[in-house]
Structure 1
Amino acid sequence: MAGYNTFSTALVPPQFLKSAFLVGKIPFRTSRSNPSVCYTLYIPPHAYNPDPSRTTDDNPAYSLPQLPLIVNIHGTGRNAESCRDRLIDFANKEHVAVLAPLFPAGSDGPFGLDSYMLLRTKGLSSELVLLDILEEIGSIWPGISTQKIFLTGFSGGGQFALRFLYIHAARVQAISIGAPGRVTFLNDQEWPKGVGNVESIFGVGTRVDIEKIRVTPIQLVVGSEDNFIHGGDDFWTFVQDMKTRMAMTGTPNPQAVQDPSLETIKTGRLDTLTKLRDSFQNDGINATLDIVPDMAHESIKALPMVLEFLQPQIGYFRKTSHS
């Protein structure tokens, strides 16, 4: 963002980075483009190069390669800190950085729990905020590679990840999409059910780059027991009754009644991801569907399979980016 003054780790001697909270667990920072969004990082201190351009310095820290970046998107519960902390051991071992954004609830009124999952709403342009956060990280932490990211998310985070891939495939090196309750298909329906009107949502010239998606490694991960309807039938009957009452009584926030996040969920997540995998195959997209045995809607149990998917992708990225 033009005119935004900041500093870089290139200005800080390596021995002071930890004391300045510039490596290790990074305290939540406010997004410069949207102060309602914040983010945290984990940067393995032993693997971080504060200034990759300083190639003639005798300090061995300046000879370290840039760190690949995993972006882990939270679900509806917004457990961003856990999204960071669960990956610390992996980050230390594999020499990667971890970014966990925190998107607010309520940005589009009282039912704004899911706004960030849709990428672009009246109150929040979550994918633009993430792109700006990546730019900001690249300027503050030049030792982190931000042009191509490893994107992962579970539940609501899986929804965000899938839709971000559609609109910004060029920025995604590999992606793990975990157990989303709703998905967007590559058909002519309107967003977020389909991609038929992405130009009207994201701007003139926006298109879904199928060819880039086809060459992006994609994991779909879900539990074998994660096939129940979120909230149950009684909950969705209540939601529909509430929408009807609000529409009839002239709610002061009529857009909330049409909120896509309030549309009835009719399919369990296992069936939903299976259907998405099959539709991908019809478009020539090879996505791996990993089903975790004896797992319901539990992100922590999916983590080993997610990391098993990411590890070789990170290795390949590191090898090809330095070849």
Structure 2
Amino acid sequence: MTSFEPVRPRDPQAFYEVGTTPFFACAADPRFSYTLYLPERDPGERLPLLVIAHDTLRTPERYRDVFAEWANTRRVAVLAPLFPAGHGLAWDLHAYKLVDAFGVRYDQVLLAMIAESADRFGFDGSRFFLFGFSGGAQFTERFLLLHPDRLRACSIAAPGAITLLDPESAWWVGVQDVEERFGRPLDVDAMRRVAVQTIVGLDDVETWELEGDAFVDHPLWMPGAARAGRTRLDRARTLSAMLREAGVPTEHVEVPGVAHLPHGLFPEIMAFLDRQLAARPGSVA
């Protein structure tokens, strides 16, 4: 038994609601599910929440487990959604990254997961922390654009494609049609109240998955992704500069010796989250 595993209760239902949990179907849309890590908590205690958006490989339980000890010592609940591949289009890998695809609003699915589980599992889902790597970073950035009012902070790690604050280009390359498409305008003032970290490995320069916008024959493809740069390193730099220019408090981190793998980024991501946890809610560290 590792140091962060809790003493589990004898009640057969409660046993599965402390520490690492099973995957639960989302009641609002059972095609999607989520797992949690839950520190022991007192009755009525409301823990802060970290949501982790998985990458294209879709192993949310691995990210949950990486953050388990951190969550236990900081007393933070972790929720990791699973957005399966192939929904809406056979063999599709990308839909969730774009938030709105094939008739699914993935941002609304996530918000439903949080709403239905917050009271049961004792966390505060009103404003939460959000982290995503690679494909999950794409989801994280776009969630920030659409729902800044729900975020205390977010860490956007090595995104493969980003949405530019370009009023002349349609979603997902730009934000021209955000209000028409999502029913709410882009709220840059609210984004300025969210602490943002952009982070990438200095060796994250392979382009085999990005060259020529690799899924050019995919129905969700749009020309323009390459405008943000040739590599993930370039695109993370573009994203950081864009957010800073818009007045969003953004720290940019480039980690030496790290390519397109998340493990070398975790210490900096956890340190960023520590600083934001220490800040008063509504303020930025």
TM-score normalised by the chain length of structure 2: 0.88
Q: Compute the displacement of 1:187 (Å).
A: 1.4
Q: Compute the displacement of 1:180 (Å).
A: 0.4
Distance 1:263 1:301 in 2: 30
**What's the secondary structure of 1:150's corresponding residue?**
strand
Structure 1 match to 2:132: 153
Distance 1:134 1:275 in 2: 31
Match of 2:271 among 304, 308, 321: 308
After the TM superposition, which residues 130-149 of structure 1 pair with which residues of structure 2 at under 5 Å, given as runs?
Answer: 130-141=110-121, 143-149=122-128
Amino acid at match of 1:102: L
Match of 2:207 among 222, 225, 229: 229
Structure 2 match to 1:213: 191
Q: Compute the displacement of 1:106 (Å).
A: 1.1
Q: Which runs of 5+ in 1 are unaligned?
A: 1-13, 53-64, 244-256
Q: Show CA shifts across 1:112-165 (max 9, x none).
A: 211111111124211000010110112312x21110110000000000000001
Structure 2 match to 1:298: 261
Equivalent pairs, count: 272
Distance 1:225 1:295 in 2: 5
Distance 2:213 2:131 in 1: 29
Distance 1:165 1:213 in 2: 7
Match of 1:120 among 89, 93, 100: 100
Structure 2 match to 1:49: 42
Q: Is the 8 A contact 1:71 1:150 kept in 2?
A: yes
**What's the secondary structure of 2:36's corresponding residue?**
strand
Q: From the superposition, tell whether residues 291 and 127 of structure 1 become closer, same or farther in structure 2 (CA, over 3 Å).
A: same
Match of 2:241 among 278, 284, 294: 278
Amino acid at match of 1:222: V
Q: Does 1:16 align with 2:18?
A: no
Identity %: 34
Match of 2:60 among 68, 80, 99: 80
Q: Show CA shifts across 1:73-122 (max 9, x none).
A: 10000011111100011011111111000001111213521111111112
Q: Compute the displacement of 1:319 (Å).
A: 11
Q: Which runs of 5+ in 2 are unaligned?
A: 1-8
TM-score normalised by the chain length of structure 1: 0.78
Distance 1:86 1:135 in 2: 24
More helix by share: 1
Distance 2:88 2:224 in 1: 16
**What's the secondary structure of 1:71's corresponding residue?**
strand
Distance 1:261 1:303 in 2: 31
Distance 1:235 1:159 in 2: 14
After the TM superposition, which residues 138-287 of structure 1 pair with which residues of structure 2 at under 5 Å, given as runs?
Answer: 138-141=118-121, 143-188=122-167, 189-203=169-183, 206-231=184-209, 233=211, 236=214, 240=216, 243=217, 257-260=218-221, 267-287=230-250
